[in-house]
Amino acid sequence: MKRAKQTRIKPRNPVATAPLLTKGGAHQLRGKKAKRARQKAAFRKDLLAK
C-alpha cells in the first residue's frame, strides 16, 4: 500500500511578520458610511452589554 506524500510546513519569514502586523489598521475605511456603521455597531454592543 502506498503512503500519502506529506508536505513539510514552510516556516514563516520572521522579518516579514512585523510589517504585515502593522498593515492591519492601514486599510480602515474613513468614509461617512463607515463612520456611521462603526457608531451603530458600538451602540448595539453597548445595548447588549447592559
One digit per residue, pLDDT tens: the chain, 50 residues? 777 888 888 888 877 777 666 666 566 777 899 999 999 999 999 998 87
Whole-number Å distance between alpha carbons of 9 and 11? 6
Global pTM reads 0.42
For residue 34, what are the contacts with CB-CB under 8 A and spacing of at least 6? 28
Question: What per-residue confidence (pLDDT) applies to 27?
Answer: 65
Cα angle: 42, vertex 46, 48; to 5 degrees: 120
Q: Which grid coordinates are listed for 34?
A: 463607515
Closest CA to 12 of 20, 23, 3, 4: 20
Q: Which grid coordinates are listed for 25?
A: 489598521
